[in-house]
Structure 1
Amino acid sequence: MPITAEEISRILELVEKSSFDEIRIDDGELRIALSRNGVPGTDPVRPQPQPASAAAPAPAAVPAAPAPAPQALPDGNLIEITAPIVGIFYTASEPGAEPFVKPGQTIDAEATVGIIEVMKVFNTVPAGVSGTVVRQLVENGDFVEFGQAIFLVRPDGA
């Protein structure tokens, strides 16, 4: 399924709000290279014409970056739950639904604390730490960066 003009506009909005200097997107024969300084690091790879009988090679899988580990903060032994990817953060599974977590709520490490949307793909955000949610640092619908703190948690026993 090709990328729509609406999706390209959304990608441009996300890149503009991010701290990325350059981004590349490949979708079949469509390749997009964006750079803040106007010159991508290298020329985008152009697809080579294939004979009708040749099968196109499968795209290489890109390994996902590991989620940042929860970080202890010096003030009051609080731990940050951070965004594992760049995208739009949602506090609930759908509009009008109860949030996954609220300040004051006790959670375990496997609890889902939110969802991050990237190009219409919704990714759950696990807590990664057991404890009590002290503070939510981003609002529903906010753009978040990889590694950005989204919640503060007082870990069990602290």
Structure 2
Amino acid sequence: MSRLPVDAEAIRSLAKILTETGLTEIEIAEKDSRIRVVRAPAAIAPATYAAPVAAATPAAAHPAAGTPVSVTPATADLSKHPGAVTSPMVGVAYLSPEPGAAPFASMGQPVTAGQTLLLIEAMKTFNQIKAPKAGTLTQFLVASGDPVEFGEVLAVIE
């Protein structure tokens, strides 16, 4: 069995690119050789958002539409909540169909089962995340443009 020559400098350069970009995998191929560097995804620290203190406190402005949206930090308790809407994939969350458009759902308003709450873009495909049940949308835990992980709580329906 012959050994392929190892280009340690190329591997270091690829690993540096992974670190700089946040990617988890990169591969280059040339003629009959191929180098693939893979690392376990780093745990993304949850972003810290200011939670509304009282109902009279204005909510954060929706980045795309300028409409109010409440963003609350995720906690371990919410993952067990019966109304938790979790991400089925890794991607980027969007609360409206396009920049400048009204959001799919607004906090404090009723939603119906099957209603689109947000989109998750993964591999250039926009996937609708729908309400699993009818109720009132009490919390959004992501903002438009936020990266999301598989199983992350995105919203809560009471």
1:126 to 1:152, Cα distance in 2 relative to 1, 3 A: same
1:117 to 1:101, Cα distance in 2 relative to 1, 3 A: same
Which TM-score applies when normalising by structure 1? 0.53
Q: Which ranges in structure 2 are unaligned for 5 or more consecutive residues?
A: 1-16, 28-33, 42-77
1:138 is matched with 142
Whether 1:34 aligns to 2:38 is yes
Whether the aligned pair in 2 keeps the contact of 1:86 and 1:144 (CA below 8 Å) is yes
Q: Which ranges in structure 1 are unaligned for 5 or more consecutive residues?
A: 1-8, 17-22, 38-69
Return the offset for 1:35: 2.0
1:15 to 1:95, Cα distance in 2 relative to 1, 3 A: same
Whether the aligned pair in 2 keeps the contact of 1:24 and 1:34 (CA below 8 Å) is yes
* 1:55-134 → structure 2 map (5 Å cutoff): 73=81, 79-134=83-138
Return the offset for 1:13: 4.1
Return the offset for 1:150: 0.7
Whether the aligned pair in 1 keeps the contact of 2:91 and 2:147 (CA below 8 Å) is yes
Among the aligned pairs, what percent are the same residue? 32
Measured against aligned partners, the alpha-carbon deviations of 1:20-68 in whole angstroms (never above 9, x if no partner) come to: xxx699xxxx99662249xxxxxxxxxxxxxxxxxxxxxxxxxxxxxxx
1:119 to 1:109, Cα distance in 2 relative to 1, 3 A: same
1:136 to 1:34, Cα distance in 2 relative to 1, 3 A: same
Report the secondary structure of 2:108's partner residue: coil
